[in-house]
Amino acid sequence: MTATTINERPLALPDDPDALLIDVIRGAGLTGTKLVCGSGVCGACTVLLDGTPVVSCLLPARAAAGKSLTTIEGVGAAGLHPVQKAFMAHDALQCGFCTPGFVVEAAAFHDSWRATKGTATPSREEIAAALSGHLCRCGAYEGISRAVADACSGRFDGVDPIAPRLEARDKVTGLARFTVDIHHDGQLEGVILRSHVPHAEITGLDLAPARAMAGVAAVVPLLDDDNMVRFVGAPIAAVAAKDRGTALKAIAAITFKAEPLPAVIGLDAARRGDAPVVFEKKDRKRAGNVSEGAGGAPVSWKGNVRGPSAPFSQKAKQAKGWLDEARQQRNPLLVEETFRVSTQQHASLEPHAAVARFDGDQLTLHISTQAIHESMEKIAKRFGLPHNKVRVIADHVGGGFGSKGSVGLETIAAIELARAAKAPVRVVFDREEELSVTGYRPAAELKLSLLPSEDGRLKALSLTAHADTGAAVNSLIAGLARLIYPAEAKELVDFDVLSNLPPGAPFRGPGGPPMSFALEQAVDEAALRMKIDPIHLRKRWDPDPNRQRLYDWAAGLDVWKSRMPAASQNGRFRRGVGVATGYWLYLWQTGSSVELAVQGGRLVASCAVQDIGTGTRSVIANTVAKAFDLEPHDVDVRIGRSNLPPGPGSGGSRVTASVVPPTLLAIEKLKAEIKRTASRAPAPGSNAPWREMIAAAPDIAVSARRQEDGKPPPGARPALHEAGIMGRVFGWVLRLMNHMVVGAGVPSSVQVMEVEVDTWLGHVRVLNAYTGLAVGKLAAPTLARSQAAGAVIQGIGYALYETRETDPWSGHILSGSMDDYRIPGIADMPKLEVHFDEAGFEHVPGGSVGIGEVATVPTSPAIANAIRDALGMRLTEIPFRPDRLLAALKGRDAA
């Protein structure tokens, strides 16, 4: 055994040549260093080796022999490093999972910069190059860039930062504990055996060889009761063992026979008449769900194609007739195009993870989840336990984006294994699992026809979407086109195309970005043909009051007013400006409850809600603090525990609108209680009467449930009302089945993007992104901006880089590493301007609705329209990779 020092303390290094540095570091309890990509591209595992940032997930432990190691826990151990302070002050973080790696690298950059350049300010480009080995899925790059610049310039020397995000200090110091960091005494490591073939019947499953191995504590089957696997990666069994290495050997020892069945991969192959069928009629209920809500009315199936589903069509026959007529008459205003969007992975940096522990019949679960309360209910039901015997904990969640909204296989496996092993079990997906079997936004083919009337109104729209849903159903893309741009007739048809691929899942505004990608390009095209300013046309066709104000804002932007026509450009680099609109539903969850208490002279707010990087803690703290004339840090916010008053899931952008209103009710109740129990009034003329009264108050607690909204202003109505009676039915079903209410007023976003296209290298760069948002009042303004900027950056990834690649024959996911699944880096971030229009939601107590989804909806079509403006040609398939750009420029079909 050799030795090193870590954060100036001695550390013994194991002799095992396979031991990697990160495992030794985390094994020593220093869990701030995170394992994410395992391939050196994300930077989450960065530590300092003799002061130099290195990749600890690939570095052999023995390489550290005789050297000095510094981890995030050692950076600023003697007081926060200026970079840590700057990260806190600039809100340079969201979920916080990538933060330790960024901070370690940035601190090293800062120290060497200051040593040679004093307090000069590094440029955006210099900072981006220095941090080019780090990825943040939340998209906190803007804050990161500003934080590093300001720290280098000395602005945070000796300053005590004020952090707009309540838990920022824990995240910049590496102390925030995520599910992957949980360690109980005697904890075992669980690993899942998965199918290597896309379609087979599994027979003769023999778990005994694994059970017989030393160090293996439990082996459980995970096959569905039909013994079928329908995609590569489908679960077969799970093992819990003393460590991951032993568990991996054990799953390799499990024997079974996989009777191969014909398989079909992907949208095009699965639609063919002779395609093998993935789900026979009796098995259809086994398919997954790609939407947030429950399925609507029964839908017909033919082979692998489920549909048509067209509840939101409006005079569909009339639409068809007018479009046919326009086609025959070669009406030049008729816009017809087929668009394709690619599969987008959530790629959360914290993988799906669960730690299960039984103490007698009490089950304690740490889960990386977007829904602690609902998870508790579902797990209790599934395992036949009373609610009070299941405790779900999620203090910090390293991103979710929709993929962690339901009880996942990691949780089921951890519980089953913990029960069988009679010991705590942790199951953490590896990166390949994370990028293959945890869901995705399905790819889709979108056929669109749009017909303006002679007098310049929108007459007819037809949109047919075929979604590449894998082993899942319930895609809703085309139907969403009903809720914007009223027309005389609309034919909106959705199909799910199932194949032997892992099931899709909800992803940030499910169906919204694909719908918007097609519709917003068609509207843009119509404007070009009608020779009308695209913003002006949207203003004419879209009566929504929130968006009307945003159109005025967009039309006034200098970048919009000074656009150059495409025809004027013929050099290598060409610039363009594009606009697009997006909306999302305003949702809130019924029954959401908040408890507010005075405990020991401090205010405590409690709710069984989770913070996945979206800022829930700060939203609650700000709301309470403001009412009592306090600072947010004067309020203790307790969340992340299922035994607190029931809170909403973090999906559908519903958290803020679900928790702020009951918090306001609770505030009024608590104020009354404090006054009632006060032994004396505050000192006359006190400038902090509430602070004094709270300090003097006895322990009291009140709680409140989410109340109904007030009367909406004229013109504001629920988005679903655009869809007539079917929309109302859909709303009732959502409320009844999913406890979600679609409230009045439509959260909206109008985005203007300026791009530069390198016509030699097929490279698109977004230079400037202007985002106008109408999401009501901002409960936490700095965090709202972070959330909006992150949504735009994720939208840039969707438009330019991200695509899941599969083998067309075997269904193996090829883009299973962060090398091959490309999310935006800090240097890909444009200059961002975010404009919040805070009107429109005065009827919502507190006036705030969610941001996360609506802000990502229009990004990809705005970029597409900007490229059209730059090149004079329209690209119809995302991501706009170099191969596609070059093919279009050369007039070839892309591969």
Q: Which is nearer to another protein, 213 or 299 (CB)?
A: 213
Structure tokens at 497: 């195309």
Q: Given candidates 28, 63, 420, 528, which one binds another protein under the rule CB under 8 A?
A: 63
Candidate segments 304-312, 373-381, 543-551, 762-770, binder of another protein by CB under 8 A:
762-770
Q: Given candidates 340, 482, 812, 874, which one binds another protein under the rule CB under 8 A?
A: 812
In the range 178-197, which residues lie near another protein by CB under 8 A? 196
In the range 14-43, which residues lie near another protein by CB under 8 A? 17-18, 20, 38-41, 43
Asked if 798 contacts 867 with a C-beta cutoff of 8 angstroms, the reply is no
DSSP H or E run through 55: strand 52-55
Q: How far is the CB of 886 from another protein (least distance, A)?
A: 4
Candidate segments 345-353, 492-500, 816-824, 835-843, binder of another protein by CB under 8 A:
816-824
Tell me: does residue 890 bind another protein (CB under 8 A): yes
Chain position carrying tokens 């972070």: 786
Q: Which is nearer to another protein, 192 or 326 (CB)?
A: 192
Q: Which is nearer to another protein, 157 or 883 (CB)?
A: 883
Q: Which is nearer to another protein, 265 or 612 (CB)?
A: 265
Query: 103: Cβ–Cβ under 8 A, 6 or more apart, which residues?
Result: 72, 75, 81, 83, 84, 87, 172, 174
Q: Given candidates 283, 377, 820, 833, which one binds another protein under the rule CB under 8 A?
A: 820
Q: Which is nearer to another protein, 727 or 824 (CB)?
A: 824
Helices (H) and strands (E) in the chain, counts: 24, 33
Whole-angstrom Cα distance, residue 84 to residue 151?
A: 9
Q: How far is the CB of 436 from another protein (least distance, A)?
A: 10
Reported in sequence order, the residue ranges of 173-285 that DSSP labels E, i.e. its strands, are 188-194, 200-206, 216-221, 228-229, 235-241, 255-260
The three-state (H, E, C) secondary structure of 717-783, written as one string: CEHHHHHHHHHHHHHHHHHHHHCEEECECCCEEEEEEEEEEECCCCEEEEEEEEEEEECECCCCHHH
Q: Render the burial of 672-707: b for 16+ CB within 10 Å, e for the rest.
A: ebbeeeeeeeeeeeeeeebbbbbeebeeeebbbebe
Q: Which is nearer to another protein, 665 or 800 (CB)?
A: 800
DSSP H or E run through 289: strand 288-289
Tell me: does residue 46 bind another protein (CB under 8 A): yes
In Å, what is the CA distance from 456 to each residue of 337, 460, 538? 20, 12, 11
Tell me: does residue 115 bind another protein (CB under 8 A): no
Output phi, psi for 469, to 5 deg: -90, 0
Q: Given candidates 28, 58, 277, 767, which one binds another protein under the rule CB under 8 A?
A: 58
Q: Which is nearer to another protein, 443 or 630 (CB)?
A: 443
Q: Which is nearer to another protein, 63 or 532 (CB)?
A: 63
Q: What letter would DSSP give residue 641? A: B
Tell me: does residue 324 bind another protein (CB under 8 A): no
Q: Render the burial of 233-260: b for 16+ CB within 10 Å, e for the rest.
A: bbbbbbbbbbebebbebbbebbebebee
Whole-angstrom Cα distance, residue 400 to residue 371?
A: 10
* Contact string 597-626 vs another protein (x = CB under 8 A): ------------------------------
Q: Which SS3 state, helix, strand or coil, does residue 219 take?
A: strand
Tell me: does residue 817 bind another protein (CB under 8 A): yes
In the range 212-251, which residues lie near another protein by CB under 8 A? 248
Q: Which is nearer to another protein, 415 or 799 (CB)?
A: 799
Tell me: does residue 198 bind another protein (CB under 8 A): no
Candidate segments 220-228, 438-446, 541-549, 814-822, binder of another protein by CB under 8 A:
814-822
Candidate segments 60-68, 535-543, 582-590, 725-733, binder of another protein by CB under 8 A:
60-68
Tell me: does residue 819 bind another protein (CB under 8 A): yes
Candidate segments 351-359, 798-806, 849-857, 860-868, binder of another protein by CB under 8 A:
798-806
**HSE-CB for 643 with a 13 A CA cutoff:** 11
Tell me: does residue 801 bind another protein (CB under 8 A): yes
Structure tokens at 365: 């679960």
Rg over CA atoms, the chain: 27
Q: Given candidates 14, 27, 59, 700, which one binds another protein under the rule CB under 8 A?
A: 59
Tell me: does residue 570 bind another protein (CB under 8 A): no
Candidate segments 376-384, 390-398, 721-729, 822-830, binder of another protein by CB under 8 A:
822-830
Q: Which is nearer to another protein, 53 or 747 (CB)?
A: 53
Whole-angstrom Cα distance, residue 207 to residue 592?
A: 44
Q: Which is nearer to another protein, 732 or 760 (CB)?
A: 760
First to last CA, the chain: 54
In the range 116-145, which residues lie near another protein by CB under 8 A? 128-130, 132-134
Tell me: does residue 370 bind another protein (CB under 8 A): no
In the range 720-759, which residues lie near another protein by CB under 8 A? 758
Q: One-letter amino acid identity for 120? A: A
- Quickly count: other Cβ atoms within 10 Å of residue 712's Cβ: 17
Candidate segments 51-59, 213-221, 284-292, 324-332, binder of another protein by CB under 8 A:
51-59
In the range 264-303, which residues lie near another protein by CB under 8 A? none
* Contact string 67-106 vs another protein (x = CB under 8 A): --------------------------------------x-
Q: Which is nearer to another protein, 38 or 510 (CB)?
A: 38
Q: Render the burial of 353-384: b for 16+ CB within 10 Å, e for the rest.
A: bbbbbbeeeebbbbbbbbbbbbbbbbbbeeee
Q: Which is nearer to another protein, 104 or 619 (CB)?
A: 104
In the range 856-885, which residues lie near another protein by CB under 8 A? 879, 881-883
Q: Given candidates 406, 462, 623, 815, which one binds another protein under the rule CB under 8 A?
A: 815
Asked if 266 contacts 273 with a C-beta cutoff of 8 angstroms, the reply is no
The three-state (H, E, C) secondary structure of 100-162, written as one string: HHHHHHHHHHHHHHHHHHCCCCCCHHHHHHHCCCCCCCCCCHHHHHHHHHHHHCCCCCCCCCC
Tell me: does residue 432 bind another protein (CB under 8 A): yes
DSSP secondary structure letters along 680-712: SPPPTT-S-HHHHHHHHSPPEEEEEEPPPP-PP
If binding means CB under 8 A, how many residues of this protein chain bind another protein? 67
Whole-angstrom Cα distance, residue 469 to residue 472?
A: 5
Q: What letter would DSSP give residue 422? A: T
Q: How far is the CB of 38 from another protein (least distance, A)?
A: 6
Q: Which is nearer to another protein, 232 or 367 (CB)?
A: 232
Whole-angstrom Cα distance, residue 477 to residue 465?
A: 6
How would you class 19 by CB atoms within 10 Å of its CB: exposed for 0-12, middle for 13-18, buried for 19 or more? middle
Site residues, another protein (CB under 8 A): 17-18, 20, 38-41, 43, 46, 49, 52-55, 57-60, 62-63, 105, 128-130, 132-134, 196, 248, 432, 758, 760-763, 765, 800-801, 805-810, 812, 814-817, 819-820, 822, 824-825, 827-828, 879, 881-883, 886-887, 889-890, 892, 894-895
